[in-house]
Amino acid sequence: MDINAIQKVYRRYAQGYDIYFGALLQPGRKAIIEKMHCRSGDRILEVGVGTGLSLPLYPRGVHVTGIDISREMLARAHARTIRLHLDHVMVLRLMDAEFLQFPDNSFDKVVAMYVVSVAPHPARLVSEMRRVCRPGGELFIVNHFQHTNPVVGGLERLFAPLSRLMGFHPDFSLENFLRESGLDVAERTPVNALGYWTLLRACNGKTAVRLGASRTVAT
């Protein structure tokens, strides 16, 4: 998958995203924000904010920045923020998560909900998350990973060639992801229906180096 393919898929998803993936994935969104133990004044970056379904869940007093690669999804997040008077949402920006346009150590917590299996280069995405998170801060990820059950895992591999149409990799390996990203995982929790998705909490022990050349997505 590349950026153009992702943008095309989520342009198609945008209008019905809240219907298809709202209630289904909302328990995971609630669980991850509870795990964040947000404190007043915390600077939070949400990578892949989508239509903003998570934004009303953050406690007032934090400062949330959201980014997304899809202009159509982001427009809906903007509308949600205005409609619900979400004053804790500081800014929503169109941006490639693999090339974050923020200085090092800009945030106390960085979160990615249902994003890493969408990214063309997940390790690069995590590297950027680590770079913009202050040392001693925390990274939070919730995502589907390939099931350990051989039958379910086999079906996921069967659908893998349709990744460009589905907008994510159904056969995304947790073990490979952790090895390649170098995440220092402190906690791993199953979430959503039947525990089919996994929540990861990781410590940001050091600031990562930006991988690859800079790229800017127009706002």
Contacts of residue 73, Cβ cutoff 8 Å, sequence gap at least 6: 10, 13, 14, 17, 49, 50, 51
Fold of 3-203: Rossmann fold (3.40.50)
pLDDT given at position 196: 77
pLDDT given at position 79: 98
Per-residue model confidence as pLDDT tens digits over 150-187? 444 444 454 344 444 444 545 578 888 999 999 989 99
CA angle 165, 56, 190 (to 5 degrees): 60
pLDDT given at position 162: 41
Report the predicted TM-score, pTM, of the whole model to 2 decimal places: 0.84
| Nearest CA among 34, 35, 58, 28 for reference residue 45 | 58
Residue 69 and residue 96 in contact, taking contact as beta carbons nearer than 8 Å: yes
pLDDT given at position 140: 98
3-state SS assignment for residue 186: strand
- Which one-letter DSSP state was computed for residue 38? -
Measured between alpha carbons, how far is 92 from 73 in angstroms, rounded to an integer? 11
Q: What is the CB neighbour count within 10 angstroms for residue 9?
A: 19
Q: What is the CB neighbour count within 10 angstroms for residue 81?
A: 21
